[in-house]
Amino acid sequence: MTSSFIIDHADSVLENKVDFELGLADVMASAKTPWQLLEKLRPFLERHSEKSLPSPGDLACATITLSQGIREEIKGQLKGEKVFAMLVETTDGVGRAMTAVFVGPLNGTFREHPHLFELVDVTFPNHEQITRLVCKVIYQLHDERDDREDFLLLLTNDDSHFIKAGADLRREYPNLIHVTCLAQGLHRVAEFVRTQHPDVDRLIAETTRIFVNCKRQQLWFANKTRLPLPPDPASTCWSSWLKAVFYYGQHFTAIKGFVEGLEADTTAIERSQQLFLDKTIQSQLERVTSDFKWFAKSLTKIQVRQSMTESVFLFTRTEFSVKISPFKEKFEAVRKNNPGFEEILRLDKVVHCPHPARPPSNPTNAQYFKCAPLVTCDVERVLSRMMTELIAPSPDSLPAALVREYLIVSWSKNRLCHKKREI
């Protein structure tokens, strides 16, 4: 047996081993499989396949290799394109605060979820960290060329450190427009409506508590009223509180009759009965239902990725529908706090009218913004769910550096499926 044959054979074995490790890492990320599951299955799989699975270290190296390849592929796709960046804050399964940077082309046609390009562990974010992070990403996207003309849109939530970072970045990038999530803006108004109706809020909360972990009450309610159970507003579902108000307003008499017929043997029942005795509670429910029925529909619809025109239309028509104080003033304050919204309005008018009365600062960019994203919440929810599923609370959880690589691979493999599954 010649030495060249031995060397070739060794190279072939090594190549097959690397291919297997890359393939396994790719499959696990595509299927969104937590690493802990593989470790639990390792003895079974190795015994029955008679093949050694890669060690955690080898699998980590394979994941890093895949992630680097995906980032290079993203850079190739965005080469020469106008680009946008979207910043999303979330936490993983063990409570680590993470800031994700998504990027995509602004070409007037791109309507998919953006590419996950960077994910960093930022426990206490400030505007200087965010500014450096975005500059680093844009620099890497342009193959380390100092090209400042093609970065046109920054999309974030409306936290103060993002507002300050956006102001810093606009000084660095002359064509940049910083917009905060329009859906979050509507949510701010919805939360203000909630705080202005504390009795309604307590009624919904206390009545919901009656049915928590009590199957008997649930069955009794269904049999007596022939209604679905009262909705439980979720903090992550932004229109759920308003929808709960509409439910109580529509079925007030039936729900009140059921609650009053219960024996006050729990604090929740007692408090709910007292709130139903308030003679103004029904009129409050009817007023919120009358004034904010369209608002709730818009808040639900705007959370889905749409074109610039569709998102702007929903936001402005919803603003027009809110005509009473102090909610009208709250809406105006939310709009004023969105640094780039007025510029987006002018760009939207250019799309429909080539010569508007008040043109934007750079009208030639209007064509690039036709399908610009103006919400972050859809991407944020998918990413949060993925992080919770992939990085389960465990002493053996992935280190922050590897979370980045794993999520980049998994997001890339599932990106086109997210939009279909989200809403």
> Would you state the pLDDT for residue 398?
66
The CATH T-level fold of domain 77-181+368-422 is: Nucleotidyltransferase; domain 5 (3.30.420)
All structural domains of the chain with their residue ranges: 3-67, 77-181+368-422, 191-294, 305-365
> Would you state the pLDDT for residue 420?
44
Q: pLDDT band at 45, cuts 50/70/90?
A: confident
Concatenate the DSSP letters of all residues of 114-167 into one string. PEEEEEEE-SS--HHHHHHHHHHHHHHHTTT----SSEEEEEE---HHHHHHHH
Share the mean pLDDT of the chain.
Answer: 85
109-118, 187-196, 374-383, 388-397, range with the lowest pLDDT? 388-397
Dist CA 307 CA 300 (whole Å): 16
> Taking a C-beta distance cutoff of 8 angstroms, is the pair 34, 392 a contact?
yes
Q: What is the pLDDT of residues 246-300, one digit of tens each?
A: 999 999 999 999 999 999 889 999 999 999 999 999 999 999 999 998 899 999 9
* Sign of the torsion formed by the C-alpha atoms of 34, 39, 42 and 43: negative
Q: What is the pLDDT of residues 368-411, one digit of tens each?
A: 999 999 999 889 888 888 877 766 555 456 666 678 888 899 89
Dist CA 370 CA 348 (whole Å): 8
9-23, 105-119, 141-155, 278-292, range with the lowest pLDDT? 9-23
Dihedral angle over CA of 297, 303, 308, 311, nearest 10: 20
Q: pLDDT band at 245, cuts 50/70/90?
A: very high
Give me the residue label for tokens 């939530």. 157
> Would you state the pLDDT for residue 148?
80
Dist CA 210 CA 231 (whole Å): 12
CA proximity to 407, closest of 53, 106, 70: 70
> Would you state the pLDDT for residue 361?
58
- Is pLDDT of 192 > 50? yes
pTM metric for this prediction: 0.86
> Would you state the pLDDT for residue 39?
78
> Would you state the pLDDT for residue 146?
64
> Would you state the pLDDT for residue 122?
75
Q: What is the pLDDT of residues 75-85, one digit of tens each?
A: 999 988 999 99
> Would you state the pLDDT for residue 6?
35
